[in-house]
Structure 1
């Protein structure tokens, strides 16, 4: 299990082609990524794990995160520990560095589910506990129940959905806010202000979006890309230094465009 802190830029792996991730993960690790994010519901944990195991990069240098508990997941709240163990087995690893509660819905019963994450951590199967798609109220509840510190909260976060409340919460309580869909599935390319900033820096709108997120305290990003060119483009965003005016311009955007919006999302309750 890696001992390093969560790397600020990682690789998201959700897609409709699970087998592609063995090579895609190897490529990303060759480029320099050290944070790989997957999930039970992606049906690609075995392929992601193979990419990690067959990479030239030492396992101890790779921060591996996965997720369980979602509407089509374990059919019993008390079976979540089995689902955790099965994910680790599919990855072909002795342990994972961060394990998330994927959604606070359906079989998610905090008093039953969260202690199983604690137990897996106590047993050395997982290193850290995180949650995804929670509200501040659900975060409060989880923090009260968990023995483990909350390491990360993963949410959709990009210039068109600015998660100010959750970012403030993460900064106040000292956990990472991990941004998925950080380029809004390409919609940032249609924002004139982001286009102008990209032109100013000889960058792409995707890089500007990622650099804006990375400029925030306690924020990490996991852009999804299986192709080498886009992986390199995204990874280079870590070296793009936006100035205060650029950041203020993006901060002032007034969009409210959620890409991932299932009925079971707690914001729809």
Structure 2
């Protein structure tokens, strides 16, 4: 499989604080990669840069052969807004908070962007929306409003909404962290199904270590804005090479 995503020597700073330092990462088409590590280590920043939600100061990011670069001499996002929109159209993201439009029904939340951005007809968008609601087990909720759903159901709608744009890459930024513990399982079940049954490229940030081990092709352990260790989930979770990785996993799995 070819590389669909590439970070090359990316440096991201907030003032004098470096969040990513000379950061490199390649992800193959169809690969499922989970990013783990302590809070503030740079994991979510990687996803936000891919969504063009965060500028960066140096380096190059490429998605599906389309890239943009930065240098210390250039202003943030040294690329046209049109080019950034094209990049953004390749990527779907599921956030910690659900970000659904409360004044729109569930189905309308799914069809607005495909009609406006992809040029779908309403009939086509609604047909696609119903298919996606069936995929996440919520077809009977098409006409209700987000406020009438549980947190787990809202996050499942958010996953369907991300898929409605037919992205090449699907990003999950701690998708269960805002949920009550009893609702986590239903969202993980949907993500597990997507990982196993669909040829999507997926990047996940999560603290659900057992889930990461089950669905990932590769796991990357972050600290201090860089990848300390990466590898297949069985290897990384069972026999990590780095002492820092061992300490982190021990604190999470035995805490």
Q: TM-score range by the shorter chain?
A: 0.3 to 0.5
Q: TM-score, normalised by structure 2?
A: 0.40
Higher helix share: 1
Greater relative contact order, per chain length (Cα 8 Å cut-off, separation 6+): 2
Q: TM-score, normalised by structure 1?
A: 0.38
Higher strand share: 2
